[in-house]
């Protein structure tokens, strides 16, 4: 049985920016829940942001630049929420280290959790290839990140972790 970090919203916790969840009820996700220990975390809430909260996007969709202090995470209100996003990402990494977690299932397109695509920072609905801050930091530290759409792939690979 592996311990797996999972975006709290995917487990039904109402922590998304709009106060809702993204509960996953696919067969693959049910297998994941039955066969492994899932550790829930919402990095944005862990970083100190309220629920609900204004939507936020990573400037140019480039999380690496945010960690290099060459980019920001901005809410639709214009508020700079970079510090909260970085704090949440760091807390996710700490949790993984404390619990010997090597795998995470995170919410696609999220500015924290996006695995393959994120919004481009223009608040126009455009997505670009890239990762959210938490996904980026976890991957950079050797933790494999999958989106909720890649759970079958994860299940096929779990023997490697």
pLDDT digits (tens, 9 = 90+) for 24-67: 999 999 999 999 999 999 999 999 999 999 999 999 899 999 99
Is residue 115 within 8 Å of residue 129, measured between CB atoms? no
Q: What is the share, in percent, of the chain residues with pLDDT greater than 90?
A: 96
User: Strands 37-41, 3-7: parallel, antiparallel or unpaired by DSSP?
Assistant: parallel
Predicted TM-score (pTM) of the model is 0.96
Q: Check residue 1 and give its pLDDT.
A: 87
Between CA 133 and CA 81 the distance in angstroms is 12
Q: 24: closest CA among 151, 127, 134?
A: 151
CA 115 to chain CA centroid, nearest Å: 7
What's residue 161's pLDDT?
63
Nearest-angstrom CA–CA distance, 119 and 62: 10
Q: Map residue 63 onto helix, strand or coil.
A: helix
């Amino acid at each position: 049985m592996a311990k797996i970090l999972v975006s709290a919203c995917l487990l039904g916790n109402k922590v998304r920016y709009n106060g809702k969840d993204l509960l996953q009820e696919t067969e693959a996700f049910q297998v994941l829940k039955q066969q492994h220990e899932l550790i829930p975390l919402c990095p944005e809430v862990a970083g100190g942001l309220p629920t609900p909260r204004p939507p936020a996007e990573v400037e140019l969709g480039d999380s690496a630049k945010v960690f290099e202090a060459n980019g920001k995470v901005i809410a639709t209100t214009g508020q700079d929420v970079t510090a909260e996003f970085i704090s949440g990402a760091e807390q996710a990494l700490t949790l993984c280290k404390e619990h010997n977690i090597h795998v995470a299932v995170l919410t696609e397109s999220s500015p924290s959790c996006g695995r393959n695509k994120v919004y481009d920072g223009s608040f126009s609905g455009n997505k670009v290839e890239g990762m959210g801050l938490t996904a980026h930091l976890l991957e950079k530290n050797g933790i494999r990140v999958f989106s909720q759409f890649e759970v079958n792939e994860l299940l096929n690979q779990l023997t490697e972790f």
